[in-house]
Amino acid sequence: YPVESIRNFSIIAHVDHGKSTLADRLLEITGTIAKTHHNKQVLDKLQVERERGITVKAQSASLFYSHEGANYLLNLIDTPGHVDFSYEVSRSLSACQGVLLVVDANEGIQAQTVANFYLAFEAQLAIIPVINKIDLKNADPERVEKQIEKLFDIPIDECVRISAKQGTNVEKVLQKVIEKIPPLKALVFDSTFDHYRGVIANIALFGGEIQKGHKVVSAHTKKRYEVNEVGILTPNEQPTHKLYAGQVGYLIAGMKEVTEAQIGDTLFLYKQPVEPLPGFKSAKPMVFAGMYPVDQTEYNNLKSALERLTLNDSSVTVHRDSSLALGAGWRLGFLGLLHMEVFNQRLEQEYNMSVIVTAPTVPYKAVLSSAKLIKEYRKAEITIINPAQFPDKLSVSEYLEPTVLGTIVTPQEYIGKILCDRRAVQKDMLYIDEHRVILKYLFPLNEIVVDFYDALKSLSSGYASFDYEDAGYQAADLIKMDILLNGNPVEELATIIHNDKAYATGKFLCERLKDAIPRQLFEIAIQAAIGKKIIARETLKAYRKNVVAKCYGGDITRRMKLLKRQAEGKKLMRKIGNVEVPRDAFIRVLKRQ
Ligand code: GTP
């Protein structure tokens, strides 16, 4: 395929507007996959993606398409839609020259439609608006086209109306891709680890060609490799003889260590060095949490699982950490809470690891006033990503918290309900049609990180949508709060919060914990404390003995079965002092609903 018949494009959209379904249809029409009714989200390869019905990792596939006597190679790069994953979106876009902007004909423009449009617009890509789900009873494509014209300044006649589900007009989309998207070349964008074949690097070729036997050098590590295999993604790896300039595909070159294949790296032919391509903007973690093996003997297994998983998800940052109560572990940085949950789920499902995760915290800062601490840290302003390292008020002149600029798109009747108690400051408000408004608010990041998205969805019966971007730091009156069980601190739940919220949050956490911990043979005091001061308390009453007695007894096999089940259950428990707490209790406690 000569460069002029290659098109590299992405599909971008708000969550659930139908990207994956459209991708399925494009794969079918071009004969890349057979047409059966089993083709549901073919590009969503990860188990967590299928279970949650969302796209997390950008996938790609090469489509072969003939139109008016000419043959084309169309490289499709799928992207995730949820707010937490916009890093993946911009990474995918840097490998493209154009995008299909999918908008649901019923829901219209949503917060991530706006965010994704600007990502594509800033990257100077050709943008083809695709109005999907026109088969729905409530579909109103005219209204959506008007929104697109008003907000994005794209003429109404450039929109394509389709039903991805039924296949209506999908062929037209392919023709638009050929007409509107300029042919060009792209960049390195992903890598995965295969137990048998080592590192598989997904690459895009800017110039030249590459094949088995070629020697390549990594601009990043300067290491040399011999290429074992190259191929295209259909979307599974399919070996080919060569890859040419403008093609997107994969390369296997005996990289064994996961750290050898850096996303954003440039490879060049041995003895023919080139100027490295500009890498990707590195992702900025917004949420940090501690991660520890349930059992310290699992430390090394967890370490290698983390290395492999972070190779495939380079937006996660990893620092070694240790704690008195939890032993040796790590502090991980994530893009958001959903990202953190998905990462944990992948650890469990793909690597069979169970871990202890601490309460998420945002990256706070402190301006130090104590000469001793300044000397120790060798600087006056420090970033705090672990509540255990929160410096005392006496040694600090100011605490700072990260803020974000949030965009909310909502039908007007929900405006009042949405913002109570989030310390938000309104910045802007714009009606996009008679019913919907776009609102901009400055939020402290910690007010939205855990549950804002879910709360917004349920308050607005699913009609409001949300996106946010970094907006720097502001001064804040912060304190560290501990949670105690019979006087022993629960390390997982130590948090840094705003002073004004300490009492309410302390009370809330104690109440929730009371529900999440099963009754035991003794009374348990659940307390929230700031330093030595107790600010909230709940009491969990003891079991009555005869209730327990009743469970045992009976015949011996039943008794053995119960004991076995109890032993299995213990693995899922964490002992704090003499209190047993289900490991998943903490995450449940932290979510407000
Ligand atoms: P993420 O991967 O989470 O970003 O979602 P997505 O944008 O890929 O959406 P997906 O393709 O998973 O579709 C979301 C839902 O909309 C699914 O239940 C689809 O069956 C449905 N859907 C997609 N296209 C159409 C359509 O043209 N008509 C109708 N009625 N439903 C559709």
State the burial class of residue 372 (Cβ atoms within 10 Å of its Cβ: 0-12, 13-18, 19+).
exposed
14 is in an annotated binding site: yes
User: What is the whole-number distance in angstroms between the Cα of residue 105 and the centre of ligand 1?
Assistant: 12
Q: Which residue's CA is minimally distant from atom 15 of ligand 1?
A: 16
Kindly give the residue spans of alpha helices, DSSP state H, lying in 366-474: 371-377, 415-418, 445-448, 452-459
- 142: pLDDT confidence band, cut at 50, 70 and 90? very high
**Ligand 1 site, residue 423, Cβ cutoff 6 A:** no
**Ligand 1 site, residue 15, Cβ cutoff 6 A:** yes
The amino acid at residue 229 is E
What mean pLDDT do residues 302-311 have? 86
For residue 407, what are its two tokens?
Answer: 């965009």
The more confidently predicted of residues 355 and 395 is 395
Q: Are 296 and 358 in contact (CB under 8 A)?
A: no
Q: Minimum mean pLDDT among 337-346, 471-480, 493-502: which range?
A: 337-346
Q: Are 36 and 103 in contact (CB under 8 A)?
A: no
- 85: pLDDT confidence band, cut at 50, 70 and 90? low
Closest ligand 1 atom to the C-alpha of 81?
4
What mean pLDDT do residues 2-10 have? 73
The more confidently predicted of residues 340 and 295 is 340
Closest ligand 1 atom to the C-alpha of 15?
4
Q: How many contiguous H segments (helices) and E segments (strands) does the chain have?
A: 16, 33
Rounded CA gap, 453 and 287, in Å? 15
The more confidently predicted of residues 295 and 369 is 369
Quote the pLDDT of residue 593: 40
Q: Which residue's CA is minimally distant from atom 26 of ligand 1?
A: 133
Asked if the model's pLDDT at residue 445 lies above 80, the reply is yes
- 566: pLDDT confidence band, cut at 50, 70 and 90? low
135 is in an annotated binding site: yes
Q: Which residue's CA is minimally distant from atom 5 of ligand 1?
A: 16
The more confidently predicted of residues 331 and 42 is 331
Q: Minimum mean pLDDT among 77-81, 412-416, 554-558: which range?
A: 554-558
Quote the pLDDT of residue 55: 52
Quote the pLDDT of residue 300: 93
Closest ligand 1 atom to the C-alpha of 44?
2
Q: Are 331 and 289 in contact (CB under 8 A)?
A: yes
242 is in an annotated binding site: no
The more confidently predicted of residues 248 and 300 is 300
Asked if the model's pLDDT at residue 579 lies above 90, the reply is no
Ligand 1 pocket test target in 10, 12, 15, 21 with most atoms within 8 Å of CB = 21
**Bridge partners (DSSP) listed for residue 232:** 238
Closest ligand 1 atom to the C-alpha of 132?
27
Q: Which residue do the tokens 């074992």 mark?
A: 228
Ligand 1 pocket test target in 11, 12, 14, 16 with most atoms within 8 Å of CB = 16
pLDDT tens for 485-515 read 999 888 878 889 999 888 988 998 899 889 8
**Bridge partners (DSSP) listed for residue 580:** 575
Ligand 1 pocket test target in 20, 110, 130 with most atoms within 8 Å of CB = 20
Distance spanning both ends of the chain, measured CA to CA = 54
- 34: pLDDT confidence band, cut at 50, 70 and 90? low
- 83: pLDDT confidence band, cut at 50, 70 and 90? low
Look at residue 405 and give its three-state secondary structure.
strand
Kindly give the residue spans of alpha helices, DSSP state H, lying in 207-354: 299-312, 337-351
Backbone phi, then psi, for 133, in 5-degree steps?
A: 65, 35
Look at residue 390 and give its three-state secondary structure.
coil
**Bridge partners (DSSP) listed for residue 483:** 528
Quote the pLDDT of residue 536: 94
pLDDT tens for 89-133 read 676 676 677 899 999 999 999 988 988 898 888 777 889 999 999
Quote the pLDDT of residue 382: 93
The more confidently predicted of residues 78 and 318 is 318
The more confidently predicted of residues 300 and 551 is 300
For 159, other C-beta atoms within 10 Å of its C-beta total: 20
The amino acid at residue 127 is I
For residue 302, what are its two tokens?
Answer: 């967890």
Quote the pLDDT of residue 185: 41
What mean pLDDT do residues 241-251 have? 78
